[in-house]
Amino acid sequence: MSCLFGRAALRGLLCPPRALVPNLLVRPSSGGPSWNQERTLVAVKPDGVHRRLVGDVIQRFERRGFKLVGMKMLQVPKSVLAEHYHDLQKKPFYPALISYMSSGPVVAMVWEGPNVVCTSRAMIGHTDSAEAAPGTIRGDFSVHISRNVIHASDSVDGAQREIQLWFQSNELVDWADEGHRSSLYPA
């Protein structure tokens, strides 16, 4: 990828206006906040696991105020990766991408919170490590696009598709944190 923002990367960095975010992942709550409680898939890739970066990633998402509702370590089957990256099938780097993503364990997580899809893309940074801003996960920990440490879904629809692909519904935990929410955002 050149030094200019690629279209996919740019799309991943720009947040849609809040009013346009579809409400697909909102969980019903008992008179709770009207914020979009989205969910997104975040995965620490094999390079991130090898480099002991899992804890740092979790800490960043927790400190931001997001809620962990699913987590597992797995060696991702190539069939899952093929579906996950089906948009990239014709790219020259696709075979290397699948080989790399299946080369070691990945830590997959589902995070929940207001606008978590868009915010997590900002937190992980630009796809190309050379373009990723310092302070972002990729900008702090990676130097090459093919070893960029972390995945995060790039749209609400994509997040829903990816969560269903990577997790069984009984692997996701709805746990109450109402007492904590009021210190994160207003009701």
Binding residues for ATP are 45, 93, 121, 127, 138, 148
Q: Residues marked as binding? A: 45, 93, 121, 127, 138, 148
Tell me the C-alpha distance between 102 and 81, whole Å.
Answer: 8
Helix, strand, coil percentages, rounded to 5, for the chain: 40, 15, 40
Beta bridge partner(s), residue 42: 109, 152
**Strand arrangement, sheet containing 67-74:** 67-74, 106-114, 37-44, 150-152
**Count of Cβ atoms closer than 10 Å to residue 15 Cβ:** 14
Q: Does 81 bind ligand IDP (CB under 6 A)?
A: no
**Which option in Mg ion, ligand IDP, none does residue 146 bind, with CB closer than 5 to 8 A by kind?**
ligand IDP
- Judged by CB under 6 A, the number of residues near ligand IDP is 13
Closest to Mg ion by CB, 131 vs 154, is 154
Question: Which position has the token pair 């899809």?
Answer: 117
Using CB under 6 A as the binding rule, whether residue 8 contacts ligand IDP is answered as yes
Find out whether 153 and 166 touch, Cβ atoms under 8 Å. no
User: Which residue, 147, 183, 128, is CA-closest to 48?
Assistant: 147
Report the candidate in 6, 2, 1, 4 with the shortest Cα–Cα distance to residue 154: 6
Site string for ligand IDP, 23-62 (x = CB under 6 A): ----------------------------------------
Residue choice 97, 130, 172, 184 for contact with ligand IDP (CB under 6 A) = 97
Of the listed 50, 144, 151, 180, which one is catalytic?
151
Query: Is 151 among the residues known to form the active site?
Result: yes
Closest CA to 37 of 130, 116, 128: 116
**How far from the centroid of its chain's Cα atoms is residue 155's Cα?**
10
Residue 148 interacts with, from Mg ion, ligand IDP, none (CB under 5-8 Å by kind): ligand IDP
Q: Quick one: what does residue 89 bind among Mg ion, ligand IDP, none, with the CB cut-off 5 to 8 Å set by partner type?
A: none
From the CB of 33, what's the least distance to Mg ion, in Å? 29
Residues that bind ligand IDP (CB under 6 A): 1, 8-9, 12, 88, 93, 97, 127, 145-146, 148, 151, 154
Residues that bind Mg ion (CB under 5 A): 154
Q: Which residues are catalytic?
A: 151
